[in-house]
Copies of this chain bind each other. A is one copy, B any other.
């Protein structure tokens, strides 16, 4: 939760990185919208989440749902991500991101790209992703509040949750092939990345996303985000970095 300046900590790179990891590793989130119909009453529900190649969160929602009708009427929304885990629910880090939502038009390269990335993260969504009432929205971060646990509150700029790199497009163009190569020819890499860099346990991890700022990893119900220290500036930096991270 955001708190008064008096109790806010100074936002540093560690806080920004934690915020990015919370947002980009999320499989689902609570989304707050304004109830459609003009009442202005807040409404919160659960949605599946993914990210676009620029780190902007995306959701796949049904036109029959209140949140979708709300987003079509007023794109202002708020996402809460961060798992509760064991112990006190408030002791675990969570991120509130206030966003402007924009529906993704079907039969466009943008839709195809987002759909492909989303379905790699949520394979079961293939069952309904193409239903006529379902659509993707990009939720562009405006500002965010990170709560790293009791008394550890930070304000995060929306821009700090968006990937800025000249390599975004060229990496997007090769993402699917690179992921297939890694998961088939270097199957142990995903486990290594998850265990060594994401404090994950067990094996069976697979890469589901490779963008300019990091690696998305999934394993059944679990998902992790390996966030690079700095975004890649060119496609050519990907391979050596993946080798280096493998160790």
Contacts and interface: CB of A to CB of B under 8 A. Distances in A.
Interface of A: 1-4, 6-7, 27-28, 30-35, 40-46, 48, 62, 64-67, 76-80, 82, 84, 86-90, 94, 96, 98, 124, 145, 147, 221
Contact of A80 (B46, B76, B77, B82): B46
Contacts of A145: 45, 66
Contacts of A80: 30, 44-46
A98 B43 contact: yes
Contacts of A66: 1-3, 96, 145
Given A32-B33, A41-B98, A44-B80, 13 more contacts: A1-B67, A2-B43, A3-B66, A28-B90, A31-B44, A32-B43, A32-B44, A41-B76, A44-B44, A45-B94, A45-B147, A46-B84, A88-B124
A191 to B, nearest CB: 21
B96 A45 contact: yes
